[in-house]
Structure 1
């Protein structure tokens, strides 16, 4: 359906945005600029998690698959938070 296609497209866009913003932040010389892009990455990650929740609620993915992917997304979030703490302090 169009709704499912649109949701998949949004998930793909937000998923690609996470590492893209991390790379963008890494290339910035000043921690203030870096932090901005790391925050964008966090926002995109939260967007993915919400879109997965919607997918589960609409029964596009199973509860089990939702839990698996959300666990992975949470791990990425923990790594990103740790990375931000180390990089922004510099």
Structure 2
């Protein structure tokens, strides 16, 4: 497959799907959390595919690698915040496990893309 745009990247597509899942989950959080944990979780989720897109658009392998690292950091932040949501009773364990599996898959994809780009440097 010819990658002409970040939208062609499977890792970006999976990241966008994860954002949809996260928004659906955070709708279950108490309304009082809208400006707290809910907002933090949503921002972290959105940051993952956004940084993939920005890094790809920069046009340099070195910058793309940098932005992939930021995406991985945002993914770790998201996982942590979701676990906190579970710990304080906003998110049940089954829903948490499902979304964490998606996060794991996306993390593997990001690391694989990083290794691929690093091997071409």
Q: What TM-score do you get using the length of structure 1 for normalisation? A: 0.90
Q: CA deviation at 1:89?
A: 2.7
**Selected match of 1:84 from 93, 97, 114:** 114
Q: Give unpaired runs (5+ residues) of structure 1.
A: none
Q: Give unpaired runs (5+ residues) of structure 2.
A: 1-30
- The answer to which structure has the higher helix fraction is 1
Q: CA deviation at 1:27?
A: 1.9
Aligned length: 89
Q: CA deviation at 1:26?
A: 1.3
Q: Confirm whether residue 18 of structure 1 aligns to residue 73 of structure 2.
A: no
After superposing the two structures, state which structure 1 stretch, 52-61 or 5-14, moved more: 5-14
- For residue 70 of structure 2, give the secondary structure of its aligned residue in structure 1: helix
Q: What's the Cα RMSD here?
A: 1.3
Q: CA deviation at 1:25?
A: 1.4
Q: What TM-score do you get using the length of structure 2 for normalisation? A: 0.68
Superimposed CA distance per residue, residues 6-54 of structure 1 (whole angstroms, 9 cap, x where no aligned partner): 1111111111100010111112333221111111100000000000010
CA distance in 2, matches of 1:25, 1:75: 20
**Selected match of 1:65 from 89, 95, 110:** 95
